[in-house]
Amino acid sequence: MAASPNDMMKSFPLNPHHEIRESFVDNVGSLFFDGQILRLEFAVARVNQLEPETKPTGERHVVARLALTLPCTIDLISQMRMLAESIS
């Protein structure tokens, strides 16, 4: 049985591009799946100056957006499951 194109691509060497910026994310802003593409929006919360005896206020800022193909989405879910199993 022939490997899927996605499996074949995984055998290609991975070329790390150290010039690519890393973004810190502390929450998922939005998530949308249209049946073919998963669109993820990642955000970070920024808290305003804290005042005594008041509820904290702030804003969430979008710091990254990803659009994943269906095979990539399935791969992401699979790898997240393996990660969850390894830490539980």
Question: What tens-digit pLDDT sequence spans the chain (88 residues)?
Answer: 456 777 788 888 889 889 988 899 999 999 999 999 999 999 999 999 988 999 989 999 999 999 999 999 999 999 999 999 999 8
Please report the pLDDT score of residue 70 as a whole number: 94
Angle at 73 between CA 4 and CA 46, to 5 degrees: 155
Question: How far apart (Å, rounded) are the C-alpha atoms in residues 23 and 44?
Answer: 9
Domain assignment present for residue 86? The answer is yes
CA dihedral 47, 49, 54, 58 (to 10 degrees): -30
Domain assignment present for residue 74? The answer is yes
- Number of folded domains in the chain? 1
* Residue 65, domain extent: 25-48+56-88
Please report the pLDDT score of residue 2 as a whole number: 54
Domain assignment present for residue 83? The answer is yes
Contact by Cβ (8 Å): 43, 28: yes
Domain assignment present for residue 43? The answer is yes
Domain assignment present for residue 18? The answer is no
Please report the pLDDT score of residue 60 as a whole number: 94
